[in-house]
Amino acid sequence: MEYFNLALHHIHNLLRWAVFFTGFWAILRAYSGYKNNKSWSSTDESAGFWFVMSCHTQLLTGLFLYIYSGHYTIFSNMGEGMKNSITRFWGVEHITGMLIAIVIVQIARILSKKANTDKLKHKKALIWYSIGIFLILISIPWPWREAGRALFPAF
């Protein structure tokens, strides 16, 4: 089972880059469309779709890790768990930040699809995808954080 845990960590770590790049692609499409008053295209739709899909795939992988690694056990002794910054990060901050971000990204896609004008579609996508990617970026265990992980896992 140790190999399963290691493999999940590597997959989850690598998937961060899919989320990162699809998120910035969706934001760039929205910005360009809004700034240049472009019509909403199938490419704009695809950018949002792939951003949401990569977020959902990352969420499922992360939930498997959360359950498998036992980070949820912080809730059995919340007082002690919250005193340790690394335990608090993995048990509460990381998962909460990511869940909120993924909900916002999903809402962004829904709002942009339902907007009445193309300019409004781009504007809603730009605002909400940007908020989502910001929350994702501050919730990632970057190497310089105390609870950090390597940018690229060593195989």
Q: Which amino acid makes up residue 53?
A: M
pLDDT digits (tens, 9 = 90+) for 126-141: 999 999 999 999 999 8
Tell me the angle at which helices 2-35 and 42-69 cross, rounded to the nearest 10 degrees: 150
Highest mean pLDDT among 3-7, 30-34, 151-155 belongs to: 30-34
- Spatial neighbors of 152 by CB under 8 A, at least 6 apart, are 13, 14
Under the banding of pLDDT at 50, 70 and 90, the label for residue 72 is: low
Question: What is this structure's pTM?
Answer: 0.88
Distance CA 36, CA 95 (A): 37
- pLDDT of 155 > 60? The answer is no
Per-residue pLDDT, 91: 82
